[in-house]
Amino acid sequence: MTEAQALDEIARLTRELERHNRLYYVEAAPEITDREYDELYRSLESLEARFPTLKSPNSPTQRVGGEPATGFRPVEHPVRMMSLDNTYSEQELVEFYDRLRKLLGCRDVPVVVEPKIDGVAVSAVYENRELVRVATRGDGQTGDDITRNARTIRRLPLHLPPEAPTGRFELRGEVFLPTAGFATINREREEEGEPLFMNPRNATAGSLKQLDPRVTASRRLDVIFYGVGLAPDLLLEEQVDLQGFFQRCHFPCGDKIWLANNLEETLAAIRELDVLRHSLPYVTDGAVIKVNSLTAQSALGSTSKAPRWAIAYKFEPEQAETRLLNIEIQVGRTGALTPVAHLEPVVVSGSTVARATLHNQEEIERKDIRIGDTVVIEKAGEIIPAVVRVVREKRAGDPPKFAMPAACPACGTPVRRDAELVKVFCPNEHCPAKLKRRLQHFASRTAMDIEGLGEQLVDQLVDAGLARSIPDLYRLDASSLCHLDRMGSKKAANLLRALDSSRSRPVWKLVFALGIPHVGATSARELIRHFGSIANLANAPSDELASLPDVGKVVSESIRTFFDSPANQALLAELETLGLPVATGGTAPGPAEPGSSGALANTTWVITGTLSQPREVFTERILAAGGKVAGSVSSATTYLLAGEKAGSKLTKAASLGVRVIDEPTFEGMINPG
């Protein structure tokens, strides 16, 4: 193949991959299977390796990030990125609206109301329909060049369609971590003994500032555009017209905005958003109100730091006071010691909170939290219960300050601390608390799904010496189980049947159950889809692992470290002798490719509301039946599986004519007859 032929083929493959990326990530309407996509991807990767001078920084192969950078170059924005003034009450908002009336000389001022996404503001510059730079806001005049990391965001267009302007223009948007992804990352960080992110915004900022773009890629950030900076060729008259422009050019944008023609409609839109915000796929801490007329925006101008034509209305976070009953030390499966607050139960943001993480001793000292204190609780980012502050005036006497223990509370081994004295961990590999957490993870629904093997039973098995390792679970018998508390012959038989059934789980579930650091359920599925068996995965070279989408250097090193360990090699050998699928593809197939055969073949589902089981269960069943699961309702959605408190997705499904399915109907579809 000549270089000219390679250039043409690279251009064709790039167009194809970008189209399929848009269909998958933006329109939720994929046309090909993951395997077919991977074949296109590998073809492009192979050509770029043969002709390295033809590789573009905007190639789809760069979505997973390149080599680590040494820092971030400062760049100047074409148009100053201003922040917004904040208002915290409806009265202050009325005063803002009255100022608009006075300055514009009219009674009613049409405005656009949008959710204020709690993320990181960015500027994206395009030239000749190609992405050339993404930067953070910084001080408004100068930001950090984060282009390498931003390219890993799957919904960020790298190439634009013919409908887009050809000249240089700049968009403004917000990079954020979806709430589902935030919960997953924090769960994984907790399992690995790493400090939890306080909220999605902090997690997003930390992800964008990673020197290794592959770490950023693993976080699965998202972006939504809401405005323009420099755009000389973009001829629009109203703020609301931007939505049509974004959609025509395949830019991700918010699907929930309001056009309010007067003050009453503005207040009504804000109140409606306050109700709906808990069902949005991202955290929103308020509403942004913008004058709709772009001519009026220009006439109103700005102050030295903020536009006069826009304002942010911040919602009050829901808080509650309660008493801190105790601080318990929780030992994770990696040995990390985490202080956990035990609280008098209190309702916050619609749910009862009785426990909250305190992160580490540094955090406890900073807030001066002591046992017996009255504390203020809120859900950080509306998700994680957090202790905001102590109500000092209600403190009784002078209770002692809290200190992390010098020895592991589970095994008595002296703890170790990292260099910054933030993380404290137990180094004992035989610590019973670490073993209990590993067994719980192994038996969890997302992993081996061993029904009946919950926290209390795991504690009993370890305490009685019946389970000193994962393989011991498969050596249990009825006679030993019946000596345990509340374990009759029937319950013992059910547990043994559940253990036997778990031998037939899809192989990817066993990979996830092993607890390899940084390997979540999705990664485990993709690894087995690529390698076919755990034995093949265990022997995979580092460079092949690192080349896989969403794996990269950090995860590949973690996988190699795990499988190179003699203890883990012995563990796998034991599991294989006990009938678990280590060297083979397993006795049960993994999830079917979307669109393949099955009761739900060629259908796309969205799940919402409260159902009888966790959403992961329904996701697995839909995938196994040949369907696809998307995160948001669109014209490509076939069915919405809705439980109680379905929220805005139900409304959107009705507006698009998407059929809404309840649980009994779903059961009938997935198991006809």
Backbone phi and psi for residue 76, each to the nearest 5 degrees, phi listed first: -95, 135
The arrangement of secondary structure in 86-180+197-314, i.e. its CATH architecture, is 2-Layer Sandwich (3.30)
Mean pLDDT of 86-94: 90
Q: Distance between CA 426 and CA 254 in Å, rounded? A: 46
pLDDT at residue 66 tops 60: no
Q: Distance between CA 536 and CA 528 in Å, rounded? A: 9
pLDDT of 458 reads 94
The predicted-structure confidence for 112-157, as pLDDT tens digits, reads as follows 999 999 889 999 999 999 999 999 988 788 888 999 899 989 889 9
pLDDT of 592 reads 42
User: Quick one: tokens of 221?
Assistant: 């950030």
User: Quick one: tokens of 611?
Assistant: 């159902």
Mean pLDDT of 378-383: 64
Strand order in the sheet with 284-291: 86-87, 310-314, 284-291, 111-117, 258-260
pLDDT of 24 reads 60
| Domain residue ranges of the chain, discontinuous segments joined by + | 3-55, 86-180+197-314, 319-425, 432-577, 604-670
Q: Distance between CA 92 and CA 86 in Å, rounded? A: 9
> How many CB atoms are closer than 10 A to CB 658?
21
Highest mean predicted confidence (pLDDT) among 191-195, 557-561, 634-638: 557-561
CATH class of 319-425: mainly beta
The whole-chain average pLDDT of the chain stands at: 85
pLDDT of 549 reads 61
> How many CB atoms are closer than 10 A to CB 672?
6
pLDDT at residue 591 tops 50: no
pLDDT of 336 reads 86
pLDDT of 593 reads 44
Quick check: 331 and 411 in contact, CB under 8 A? no
Task: State the amino acid at position 404 in one-letter form.
Answer: M
Fold of 432-577: DNA polymerase; domain 1 (1.10.150)
Mean pLDDT of 160-170: 88
Quick check: 300 and 319 in contact, CB under 8 A? no
Closest-CA residue to 138 (of 86, 85, 80): 80
* Catalytic choice (116, 379, 423, 649): 116
Range with the poorest average pLDDT among 369-383, 437-451, 492-506 = 369-383
Q: For the domain with range 604-670, which CATH number is right: 3.40.50.2300, 1.10.10.10, 3.40.50.10190, 3.20.20.80?
A: 3.40.50.10190
259 vs 588, more confident:
259
pLDDT of 193 reads 53
212 vs 351, more confident:
212
Range with the poorest average pLDDT among 136-140, 285-289, 639-643, 649-653 = 649-653
Quick check: 54 and 10 in contact, CB under 8 A? yes
DSSP H or E segment with residue 356: strand 351-357
Q: Distance between CA 211 and CA 63 in Å, rounded? A: 15
Quick check: 169 and 231 in contact, CB under 8 A? yes
Quick check: 154 and 218 in contact, CB under 8 A? no
Dihedral sign (CA 580, 550, 446, 194): positive
The hierarchical CATH code for the domain 3-55 is 1.10.287.610
Task: State the amino acid at position 160 in one-letter form.
Answer: L
Task: State the amino acid at position 91 in one-letter form.
Answer: Q
Q: Distance between CA 265 and CA 261 in Å, rounded? A: 6
Mean pLDDT of 319-348: 89
pLDDT at residue 195 tops 80: no
pLDDT of 349 reads 66
pLDDT of 67 reads 47
Quick check: 13 and 44 in contact, CB under 8 A? yes
User: Quick one: tokens of 387?
Assistant: 């202790």
Quick check: 44 and 198 in contact, CB under 8 A? no
pLDDT at residue 527 tops 60: yes
User: Quick one: tokens of 600?
Assistant: 């739900």
Q: Distance between CA 370 and CA 562 in Å, rounded? A: 39
Closest-CA residue to 194 (of 335, 16, 345): 335
pLDDT > 90 in the chain, percent:
40
CA distances from 421 to 299, 362, 404 (A): 54, 8, 11
The predicted-structure confidence for 335-344, as pLDDT tens digits, reads as follows 889 899 999 9
Q: Name the band, by pLDDT with cuts 50, 70 and 90, for residue 646.
A: confident
Q: Is 509 a catalytic residue?
A: no
pLDDT at residue 589 tops 60: no
Q: Which residue in the block uniquely carries the two structure tokens 């629904």?
A: 445
Q: Name the band, by pLDDT with cuts 50, 70 and 90, for residue 68.
A: very low
pLDDT of 25 reads 53
pLDDT of 588 reads 36
pLDDT at residue 29 tops 80: no
Closest-CA residue to 151 (of 143, 159, 142, 139): 159
615 vs 577, more confident:
577
pLDDT > 70 in the chain, percent:
90
pLDDT of 570 reads 95
pLDDT of 348 reads 77
Closest-CA residue to 58 (of 29, 15, 2, 20): 15
Q: Report the Cα–Cα distance between both ends of the chain, in Å, rounded.
A: 56
The predicted-structure confidence for 452-501, as pLDDT tens digits, reads as follows 998 899 999 999 999 999 999 999 999 989 888 888 888 999 999 999 99
pLDDT at residue 37 tops 90: no
The predicted-structure confidence for 538-569, as pLDDT tens digits, reads as follows 999 988 898 886 677 778 998 999 999 999 99
Helix or strand or coil: residue 175?
Answer: strand
Q: Distance between CA 557 and CA 385 in Å, rounded? A: 33
Please give the full DSSP string across 399-432, using - where no structure is assigned: PPPP---SB-TTT-PBPEE-TTS--EE---TT-H
Q: Name the band, by pLDDT with cuts 50, 70 and 90, for residue 319.
A: confident
Range with the poorest average pLDDT among 155-164, 390-399, 475-484, 624-633 = 624-633
pLDDT at residue 673 tops 60: no
pLDDT of 586 reads 46
pLDDT at residue 239 tops 80: yes
pLDDT at residue 205 tops 90: no
pLDDT of 41 reads 80
203 vs 299, more confident:
299
DSSP state of 148: H
